[in-house]
Amino acid sequence: MMEEKPLWPGEQAVRAAASPQPGVTRVAAIQRRGRWQVCARCGARWCTSQYVLPLGGTYCPECLGLGRVTSRDQLWRAAPPQFPQRSAAGLCAWQGTLTADQQRAAGAIQQAHAGGQPILVWAVTGAGKTEMTFPAVAAVLAAGGLVAYASPRIDVCNELFPRVRAAFPTTPCALRHGREEQAYGGEPLVVCTTHQLLRFYHAFSLIIVDEVDAFPMHNSRLLHAAVAQALLPGRAPVYLTATPDDQLRQAIRRRSLTVTYLPRRFHGAPLPVPRLHWCRAKTLTGGFQPLRDLIRRHRQARRPVMLFVPTVPLLTQLTAWLRQAFPGERVAGVNADDPDRLVKVQAFRDGQTSLLVTTTILERGVTIHHLQVVVWAADHHHFQANALVQVAGRAGRAAADPRGAVDFFYHRYTLAIAQARRDIIQMNRRGGFS
């Protein structure tokens, strides 16, 4: 039988053996409370007559993706970590300068963290949210604490990891998600998907949840519970997003969630306002001619173009049409189930691909310089207002080229299109733009 690896401080794991390592506590992985079975790893509960195993006992259906938990298992929990204290000076190697708005938000984050209060940083896309968290992260690392940057999206984690590692070069940093096979090795700084937080218990002094409203965290009891359980008692999360959902907005109105606003991008330019293009219905389902002149202009200016579509069949159609219409361009298409997604996105980022067709899987966490954005069939029900705001926010993010173009093609002028455009205009006004 293969020997199980020991747990690092703050980790929790399912074990069947009876004697834990020193400093590790154990609890029943599934506990019965009246007519309910409750999973100690994720907090899910179900009726005792559900999810019964053939040989007796039960299992948790909600956190099955991290490995099966049964009523015959134990959950081992290692004691919280305590790293050596260090001087905060020199911990952060980021050479940039925070704007006045960013400094205000950074101070609000530190104040909320010190008081054990949750805080939402409601900032426009491209505001430099990650950089605003660096002072709080440096303070926690200096005090010997464990820090996590967590996001519901793998692509966001992959975007964050090199930036965080470069900002804190003397601090070991781990990347954890379902497509990253490297095991956790006790690093004080972790970038991970929110699902991976279920592998920790009372471990982190600070958890920063980037794109908190993104699928699958939106309305997910499981993932919000994962954040709460992974934090040390008395600590609260920092949430980052440009498009808070109704649950977060209600918490702000109830004053159970502190909020700080950033209505301007770090480079001071306004958000690109989407241009609207009406099309016949049959044009949206296969006649892509309205795109020809627009893409030609973008490519003559040597600008990469990201084209968002609502469905995989339409992605396949549009990718094939682009290859035929622009034989001299390098075209790729990606969706959530594409095994080569990460490679294709990196090729686009490196300039090896000039036209990238994608579903909403890339609505967040991707920064490409000089990018131009097109949304095809923007009236499809898959494009909710929040998604359209995030998609539009991919353009104009670089200080050297802050005025990227965003174009929506549609047949029906939907409430989502109107709301997304209105939200962008209102945020620009809040930032001082007419």
Greater confidence (282 vs 4) lies with 282
Q: Give the pLDDT mean for 94-115.
A: 95
* pLDDT confidence of residue 19: 61
Q: What is the pTM of this model?
A: 0.90
Numbers of helices and strands, H then E, in the chain: 12, 19
More confident residue, 296 or 268: 296
Query: Residues 130-184: pLDDT tens digits?
Result: 999 999 999 999 999 999 999 999 989 999 999 999 999 999 999 999 887 678 8
Peptide bond into 216 cis (omega under 30): yes
Mean pLDDT, residues 271-297 taken together: 91
Which residue has 């003397």 as its token pair? Answer: 170
pLDDT of residue 183: 82
> What's the confidence (pLDDT) of residue 6?
82
pLDDT at residue 429 in the model: 94
Domain ranges across the chain: 12-78, 100-262, 275-430
Lowest average pLDDT, out of 137-141, 211-215, 273-277, 309-313, goes to 211-215
> Residues with Cβ < 8 Å from 145, sequence gap 6 or more?
81, 83, 188, 204, 205, 206
pLDDT at residue 376 greater than cutoff 60: yes
Helix then strand then coil, in percent of the chain rounded to 5, is: 30, 20, 45
Structure confidence by residue, pLDDT tens digits, 16-27: 766 667 789 999
Q: Give the full edge-to-edge strand order of the sheet including 206-210.
A: 173-176, 189-193, 147-151, 206-210, 238-241, 119-123, 258-262
The per-residue pLDDT of the chain, averaged, comes to 92
Q: With a cut of 90, say whether residue 410 has pLDDT above it.
A: yes
CA angle 161, 162, 163 (to 5 degrees): 90
pLDDT, residue 137, reads 98
* Region 72-94 average pLDDT: 89
pLDDT at 3: 56
- pLDDT recorded at residue 84: 87
For the chain, what percent of residues have pLDDT higher than 90? Answer: 75
What average pLDDT score do residues 232-255 get? 95
Judged against a pLDDT cut of 50, whether residue 1 lies above it is answered with: no
Lowest mean pLDDT among 3-17, 95-109, 287-301, 304-318: 3-17
Query: Looking at 11-20, 53-62, 109-118, 232-241, which range is the least confident one?
Result: 11-20
Confirm if 40 and 198 have CB atoms less than 8 A apart.
Answer: no
User: How far is the C-alpha of 91 from the C-alpha of 87, rounded, in Å?
Assistant: 7
Pick the CATH number of 100-262 from 3.90.230.10, 3.40.50.620, 3.40.50.300, 3.30.110.30: 3.40.50.300
Per-residue confidence at 4, pLDDT binned at 50, 70, 90? low
200 against 83, higher pLDDT: 200
The per-residue pLDDT for 414 is: 98
Helix, strand or coil for residue 150? Answer: strand
Question: Phi and psi at residue 58, in whole multiples of 5°?
Answer: -140, 170
3-class state of residue 370 by DSSP: coil
How much is the pLDDT for 51? 82
Q: Give 33-79 pLDDT, tens digit per residue.
A: 888 899 999 999 888 778 888 887 889 999 988 889 999 899 999 99
Q: What is the pLDDT of residue 2?
A: 45
104's tokens = 């205000």
Provide the 8-state DSSP code for 175.
E
Rounded to whole angstroms, how far apart are CA atoms 234 and 263?
30
> Taking 90 as the threshold, does the pLDDT of residue 287 lie above it?
no
CATH of 275-430, one of 3.40.50.800, 3.40.50.300, 3.30.1220.10, 3.40.190.10: 3.40.50.300
Least-confidence region, from 6-10, 18-22, 231-235, 413-417? 18-22
On the 0-12 / 13-18 / 19+ scale of CB atoms within 10 A, 244 is: buried
How much is the average pLDDT of 187-215? 96
Extract the tokens encoding 66: 């991290």
pLDDT on residue 87: 86
pLDDT recorded at residue 17: 61
